[in-house]
Each structure stands twice: as structure tokens, then as C-alpha cells.
Amino acid sequence: MLEIRNLHVKLEEEDKQILKGVDLTIEPGTVHAIMGPNGSGKSTLSYVLSGRDGYEVTEGSASLEEQDLLSMEPEERAAAGLFLAFQYPVEIPGVGNMTFLRTAVNAQRVARGQDEMSAADFLKLVREKAKDLKIDADMLKRPVNVGFSGGEKKRNEILQMAMLEPKMCILDETDSGLDVDAMKLVSDGVNALRDAGRSFLVITHYQRLLDHIRPDIVHIMANGRIIRTGGPDLALEVETNGYGDLLAEVG
């Protein structure tokens, strides 16, 4: 599904290397987690994969189902099946959430050569998905993320994911700012989307999210590299001992 080879990335504006050779292979239908201390490059990885400006790839490659991600525009990556759930979902005053969702769904359909979804079909689908995430009609009507609580913003991200049905979902610290109930709701939303054709990359600081979204593989990232890969137990090890020991191990 996702294939990252020796990825080196620096900030465009300053001479600062953030990723220093990331290798990662994600098979279809699997859930990978990336954990790591602050500043290890986790969020940068998610931004570079989704095509945000401000980063320069100096070496290496990244592909989604054998398509070169790095040469594509952000919207092309989305249409190819990549989705990033933002750590800080962006408020867009003046654009209704429903308009935004419908524009996005139809833009992706058009890009894939499909017909646009009719207003009625779209409404039916969005209501159904929103209900599962306990998103009420008012949240759908309001401008995108404006005045949403932290939990509402994250639920709204998952709603977008559910509507767009991507193949490769990256969740960037989706647990940040969530209380226990909200975390459960968001995790249920994610788990409902798990299937054999869809993969997840869950970026998080804490093991507790991984109690809800059970990963198949856990990676530890530090200083721009993946320093350790293991099973779900690796996350528990971090929870108990912190990152100190692992960092010491790799020097």
C-alpha cells in the first residue's frame, strides 16, 4: 500500500534536516502506529506524505500503490486514496461543513472518472455516517470546524474520512485534546473503517489510543528515523519505561 524508502526531508526556508532516512512499508489492511518523542519528525512525515508546502525532499521516495506520491499535488494524492486526519483541523469561516464535504467527495469522484453524487444520495450518506459519530445536524451546517470543540473537530476529521473512503489513512495525533469518551467515539469511528483494503498509520505520543485502535505493528521514531519496529507490546514498553531507554540503545 504505502512504501517509503530512505526519505530525507528538510525545511524549505531554513537549513534544518527533519527526516533523516525513513523506511516504512505498510501492507494493505494493516494498522501501523508511529510513536516517538516531541520533535522526532512524526508530524513532518504526515505533512510530506500529504503534500504540504514548506518541506523539501532531499533524498528517497514515497509511493502509494506504486504511484509516486511526491510528484503529485495534494488533491491528486487525496484522489489516489491518501487521507490525513489533522492534528489541528483547520477552521474555515464562511465555508459550510456540508458544502465542504460535498465539494470534496465530488472532486474526488470526478478525479477518478466517476459521476458526481446527487444531492439526495449525498445527504442520505452524510446523515448516516454523521449519526455514527454523534455529529448533529447543527455541526454539519456550521462553517468548517469554526466554534467546534477539540472533540468535535476530531470527530469531524473521522467523518471526512468515512465519507471519502480513502485507502491509506494517516491519523496525526488524533487523540490530542480528547477526553476518554471522545477518544472512544473517534476510535470506534476508525475501527468501523478497518477492512482488508484499507491501511492506517496512527501517529501518537501515548499508548492509550492504541488500546482502542489496536495496531498490527508499532514503530518508534526519534531524531528523524525509525529506530525500532515491533508488535503491539512495543507500545506498552514505551508506556512503562518512556523513550529514554530506547533512545539510549541507539545512541
Partner 1 sequence: MALPAAKQGALEGRLATLSLPEAGAWGTEARRDALGRLEAMGLPGRRDEYWRFTDPGLLNAAEPAAAAAFENDEAPLFSAVDRLKLVFVDGVFAPEKSDDIALEGLEIERLSESMSRDIHWVREVYGVLEAGAHSPVPRPHAALNTAFASDGICIRATGRVSKPVSLVYLHEDAGSDAILHHVIRVEPGAEMTLLENGPAAARFNKCLEVDVADTGRFNHVRAQGRDHERVAVTHVFAQLGAESTFKSFTMTVNGVMTRNEAVIDLTGPDATAHIAGACLGDGAKAAFHHDDTVFVRHRAENCESRQVFKKVLRNGATGVFQGKILVDQGAQKTDGYQISQSLLLDGDSQFLAKPELEIYADDVKCSHGSTSGAIDETGLFYLRSRGIPEGEATDLMVIAFLAEAIDEIEDRVLAEDVIERLKGWLARRRRS
Give the orientation angle of helix 97-111 with respect to helix 150-164, to 10 degrees. Answer: 30
Task: Indicate the residue among 146 and 236 with the shorter CB distance to partner 1.
Answer: 146
Task: Indicate the residue among 166 and 224 with the shorter CB distance to partner 1.
Answer: 166
Q: How far is the CB of 13 from partner 1 (least distance, A)?
A: 13
> What's the CA gap between 102 and 108, in Å, rounded?
10
Q: How far is the CB of 94 from partner 1 (least distance, A)?
A: 3
Unique residue bearing C-alpha cell 505493528:
217
Q: How far is the CB of 41 from partner 1 (least distance, A)?
A: 19
Q: Enumerate binding residues for partner 1 (CB under 8 A).
A: 50-53, 73-75, 77-79, 83-84, 86, 89-95, 99-100, 103-104, 107-108, 111, 143, 160, 164
Q: How far is the CB of 212 from partner 1 (least distance, A)?
A: 24
Task: Indicate the residue among 52 and 214 with the shorter CB distance to partner 1.
Answer: 52
End-to-end CA distance of the chain: 32
Task: Indicate the residue among 55 and 243 with the shorter CB distance to partner 1.
Answer: 55
Q: How far is the CB of 164 from partner 1 (least distance, A)?
A: 7
Task: Indicate the residue among 11 and 250 with the shorter CB distance to partner 1.
Answer: 11
